Amino acid sequence: MRDINLPLPVARAVLNPIFRITLNKRLPFPMQRRLLDIGSRAQLLPEGSIVQRLRLGGRPVERISFADTSDHGAVLYLHGGGYAVGSTATHRSLAARLARDTGCAVYVLDYRLAPEHPFPAALDDAEAAFLELMASYHAGQIAVSGDSAGGGLSLALAQRLIARHGSTPAALGLIAPWSDPNRIPDRERDLVISKPWSRACAAAYLGDGDPADSVYAPLTGELRGLPPTYVQVDVSELLHTQCVDLVAALRAAGVHVQFTESKGLWHVAQLQAALAAPAAAALGELAGFLREALQPADLRELG
């Protein structure tokens, strides 16, 4: 099926009630997950997408590729959802577009969710998945990408890989990363998420952990030595200020950073790339960044 390019005001009007109902603090997390998975059935996959269900680090993963996918690199994708919701199904369309536009296989990890599995279960799963991927690729051939909570998890994973294993991913591609769950939003809500919902997710993820732990809040952790990083966020998001602060901190730490602030989109609008051309364009820019990081130098020279 072809993409549907809705005008942004129309797309926002359609999505607003869906998110208000689904991502609601009053709904139990299992119900939120079920509703999101049901809604994901309407997502459009690019023609030719190949979806394989595998396991990495002991957890289910979807490997998304195309017939012409290269073996020169891979992307480990960590989905968003406040560490409490989201799945391989909710992010399948986004990941398929990344796979098509990077030319590399994208592995979407089904990491354990809170509150059943609080911090640091998700990070442990991501670490194990990356290390198993290193049986097929070296660390510099694997980019890590994620959105919202998955963006924060991507940052925490890179920090852990460097500190524990001396391994640095090729790049980080972060869509509105939630890099410090301790921070309380200064507004009640944006189109997608609300302050009460985000606080409930933060508490569920922390469990009995220490909120001062930089592994829980990677914005406060060691940023020096991180790989080239791309951060995308819309100016209307609750996480906008946090993303601005993250970019400033990364640059102060000497990390090469590319930063894009969109106007008129919404939190992780890249998930709706099939509905709105500006969202598709943003996702295409992220794919281009990851493709350049993963493409061997000799191929870049030929291109």
136 is catalytic: no
| Ordered per-residue pLDDT tens for the chain, 303 residues | 578 899 999 999 999 999 999 999 999 999 999 999 999 988 889 999 999 999 999 999 999 999 999 999 999 999 999 999 999 999 999 999 999 999 999 999 999 999 999 999 999 999 999 999 999 999 999 999 999 999 999 999 999 999 999 999 999 999 999 999 999 998 999 999 999 999 999 999 999 999 999 999 999 999 999 999 999 999 999 999 999 999 999 999 999 999 999 999 999 999 999 999 999 999 999 999 999 999 865 444 444
Which residue in 93, 148, 179, 236 is the catalytic one? 148
237 is catalytic: yes
How many Cβ atoms are within 10 Å of 179's Cβ, its own excluded? 28
Which residue in 237, 240, 262, 285 is the catalytic one? 237
Q: What does the pLDDT read at residue 296?
A: 64
Report the predicted TM-score, pTM, of the whole model to 2 decimal places.
0.96
Q: What does the pLDDT read at residue 2?
A: 73
87 is catalytic: no
